[in-house]
Structure 1
Amino acid sequence: MTDIRYAGQEHVALPSESVLETLERVGVQIPNACRSGVCQSCLMRARAGDVPPAAQAGLKDTLRSQGYFLACCCRPEGDLEVALPDDDALGETEVSLTGIELLSPSVMRVLLKPEAAFEYRRGQFINLIRDDGLRRSYSLAGCADLGDALELHVRHIPGGAMSDWLMTGHGSTDSLRIQGPHGNCFYVPGKPDQAMLLIGTGTGLAPLYGIVCDALAAGHTGPIHLYHGARTLEGLYLVERMRELSARHANLYYTPA
């Protein structure tokens, strides 16, 4: 027999029954419409267990790599723990602020260390939360040599509640939490010769920098074009780092604008 675990409860799936049918039979309401894998309104995520390939047909590579599947088409062959997208990845993790470095006059490199295991992909984003409940969303940047540290690129906005607070060093003593990760903007291995075009302005470089680092670490061979724009020269940052990477990797083309 196959068990479907949802919201802390285990339910036995009948032979040839889909995850959607199992949960509906026991009174759990899951969003759905077409029941044939077309509308994707029954999208769920597997927290544990193997998802049959047929349940992921038509989904983006970024969703498949995170375990998302269509409940109406999923007839698991083994036990499966599942969650709705809105229920998953929303837990909060305590972090400590381990460093702040100015990458330009207005952009900070903020390093955080999670106090517990934290699974993420560079290019996704998290919500940074202070004790008073103030929260801001930041993309996850950085390269593999960071170890367990998380890297954020934060633009300092004079008078900004979070960026002023970080710039003045208050974050080094206060407790912080993060929520997430969220988003489908990250590198997915499997197509090493595919051309990539990455365009961002301001701190929109952060997720693109993470994607480039992961692509190069995975041995991506296709051309990677990264364009980073700013209103002024002072608005550009990591220029020397990106030029250094371009010099070491013939398939990386970096254009600051």
Structure 2
Amino acid sequence: MVATANVIYVVTIVLYSLSVLGYFLDFLQSNRKVNKIAFWLLSIVWILQTLFFIIRAVQYDRLPVITPFEGLFFYAWLLVTLSLIINWSFRVDFLVFFTNVVGFIIMSFSLFAPSGDVPDQLTDLLISELLVIHVSFILLSYAAFTLAFVFSVLYMFQHQLLKQKQWGKRLLRMENLPKMERLTFVMTTFGFPFLLIGLILGFVWASTQLNTLPILDAKVLGSIAILILYGIYLYLWVVKHQRGYSMAYLNVAGFLVVLINYFLFGQLTEFHLWDE
């Protein structure tokens, strides 16, 4: 089973890279044929990712989202899944390309993360339904924020094309600016409560299993900072009715904090023992 999973993982990485390359060529040359090939390659990647996910779940007899390797893999799987669903539903050109550039980078990082199971001495403490739900909600929020980031980047890119009057096929294939803004807001609206619920569940788990509330933990403080930043974005959108380039810029800044929290603060945390 382990050998099969390793082969699937390697094939997935290769096909994922070819898919991203295809979308990049389509972005440069507006080649619909290449776009279609890249889409089907990405669909195969999703199937292989799902298969790998199932094999690992059977191998360790749990939902595989706990270790650093599993977290990165599940994050990448969520990005592929959501990008395919949104592209199928709304046909937002270039969404899949930008989203899966991030997804491929995330999955590539998983190559360097420890791939084993949770240490035996921590298994009983960590493997519980509450913890799995906590991690799942956090990763769902990160996936939603990633899509909001992609929509913001597309908005800013299109804004610059219009400002510089660079008309062409690439511009014609993009959605209008208000729709990009709206989709950014929708994804942020999904991500904010997911992160809030995940953080609350983490506190509940810590208080019941560890008899402590890790308020001063680096990763917890980072998550709170993310909530505040995206909370400001939602406040400005809903209450102050602010729109435009500055709002897209704020959303991009929020995603940079998400990345800092996931990768940098993940190395500084003292509470998330299984990240070490």
TM-score, normalised via structure 2 length: 0.24
Over alpha carbons, which structure has the higher Rg? 1
Between structures 1 and 2, the one with greater helix share:
2
TM-score normalized with structure 1 length: 0.26
